Structure 1
């Protein structure tokens, strides 16, 4: 092949907020597959909050990205050359291919995508890791019952947007929390939330109290910090909190932490952090249900699309500050 590969490397570990100088764009030769490998031309790159944690070398649930190496991340693409018995040129695939135009892989962690008339980028969002995260976190950990009130922070995001719709499918009242009138309007009018509280309006406690008059049975927490403290004051006895993310703290070297911890005790709340990759046995059922709900129109989704690999760092920084609506992806082709 005469094409060149472009890659974005982790140039340095950020201290505090991520900066575009933390990344470096390089050009390399396109690699050729050895026996048991295949080459993927990436078409869409996924940008997700967890990547901020991978940029740090602090102890975590996964190995950090290495300085000088390709930035970690999922992507969807097309097999263009193969010496692997289970993958052939033309196959559409999703996997941990990283921030680059071409990726060489042995197939570990890669899934084939069947042609169902659904855009490929959806397999990075509602039909990918974020959708499965929403499904497992809400249904397995949150365990909602019909009639429950489910509150979701970052309600217009890739995960939160799916959580609210699954809650509604299961007969729950879904209340979102999002930043800005436009995001709240999207959550209610397009995603079907029963109500949405705009935390940027400066009336979080008052508006939340009005939105959940019967209290909160399940709080799907994507953000932590002040928003989670406000929700803790509205939790019902024996309620559940699936702790999915802490995006309010990812850009700050000194975490704020929770202050209304007393509510966990007096309300006998179950709070459980979870990582979706710990639940691989649940992925097939989750993806089957999510695919059916998308096909039936019961789950809707929105994407924010950046154009070109070189714009991935700026799009990633924008996502961390809440500039995206729905799932953030980068179109590479």
Structure 2
């Protein structure tokens, strides 16, 4: 009787994890089932697993040393794209600057003492278009995932690009600016620019309307200045008009104007015109000079005879 009760108890103690769940069930992130975890490029995540994950290595990765295994991210359907994501931090001295530089390099993971690894999704966009679904895999240290079948794999997860330009067109309503003039009773001094969208049906003004019976200090000052300027303008126009009509009293009389308009002979009393103006015009002979005579004339004797000088 004691033997029959102890045998089922021994079976339960030997294989608790195998009976309770699967390999993917001991992964905390990514979660099960497949395709339920979405990872965006550029964001940081914490890859996590339960402490019971180490018990699966003896069945599916016998060559693995659970104290030092490599963690990779590969495509779910092929190994064309793979990245080793686990790393360790270490410092190196820089003697010229007298400082120590903190760097990271790929490293192995101890799944017995470490239950998470921080990781930033930095995959090329070309790899996402070729393989949008990925898997995390623990493989033996120093081996490539494509060269071995021994591995502990997670559930399949999906990697997306959060960029709205490349992932999907924008669905937000388009906005169009328009100018809304002021509706106040006072003359507008500026124009406000209001942005509205297609979903907006009306606009509200934040400035309360001014009453017509109330005038601001600036308006009163403007009225006073305008009144003074108007009075000065009216006085100036009156002075110009008075000066203009006063100058017309010194203008010449119509009789004097007619005397200046008469002909010179009437004013000075001369009624006769010069004789050369009343004489008929000379006949035109058609020849501009007198005709020359063809007769030959002899010169007469000189009136003053020559005087002979006495001989010496």
Structure of larger gyration radius? 2
TM over 0.5: no
The higher-RCO structure (CA 8 Å, 6+ apart) is: 1
If the TM-score is normalised by the length of the shorter chain, which range does it land in? Answer: under 0.3
